[in-house]
Amino acid sequence: MKESIGSTQLFIIVVTLVILFSGIMALAINRANSFAVKDKLVNVIEKHGGFDMNAEIIGGSTDDALQEIVDSLQEVSYRQEGQCPKPTAGDNYTVVGYERNGTKTMGNDDSAFCILRYPGKNTNGTINVFYYKVVVFYHLDLPVVRGLFNFRVMGETKPLYK
């Protein structure tokens, strides 16, 4: 009696399932890691009462919040990168992208994380509160095709008064 399915077809099915399973596992692990990084960055910004949008690690002088962010990225070995959102003419926020070592990214360079600062107004119309939004990235990393789909995770701080 002949086999109803050949060994080549069976091998292709097994390889396809292994690649699919490893891709799903990689996506789940990357997603969980990026959510942990996002939560850590939001907590650091809230702990320091805001973030200096001009901060950059150059020669050891830096903002305490940025230094703590860089240290926490090294602890969790976060390696993802992506494009920061670009503000349009009507948008009322500032965007800064950073590499893992704390240097700013310029233009269309890939960033490890992005920080957006939104001003908020009180009842008198004066700006005295800021909201910070943190953007981190993850991607579907299949063994054969590498970074096929790129995703981003966003988290927002509570209102921080200045």
Q: What is the pTM of this model?
A: 0.79
pLDDT for position 162: 65
- Can you give the pLDDT at residue 17? 93
pLDDT value of residue 41: 92
User: What's residue 44's pLDDT?
Assistant: 92
Q: For residue 34, give every residue at least 6 positions away whose Cβ sits within 8 Å of its Cβ, in sequence order, or none.
A: 78, 80, 136, 137, 138, 153
Quote the pLDDT of residue 106: 80
pLDDT at position 38? 93
Q: How many other CB atoms are found less than 10 A from the CB of residue 41?
A: 25
Where do the domains of the chain lie? 7-161
Specify the pLDDT at position 7: 81
Tokens of 69: 């962010």
Q: Is 151 within 8 Å of 139 (Cβ atoms)?
A: yes
pLDDT truncated to tens, each residue of the chain (162 aa)? 466 667 888 899 999 999 888 878 878 888 888 899 999 999 999 998 888 887 777 655 567 888 888 888 888 877 788 888 888 777 788 888 888 888 888 877 788 899 999 888 766 767 678 889 999 988 776 656 665 678 889 999 888 876
Q: What is the pLDDT of residue 135?
A: 93
Alpha-carbon dihedral sign for residues 37, 38, 44, 47: negative
Name residue 55's amino acid.
A
Instruction: Compute the distance between CA of residue 115 and CA of residue 87 in angstroms, rounded to an integer.
Output: 12
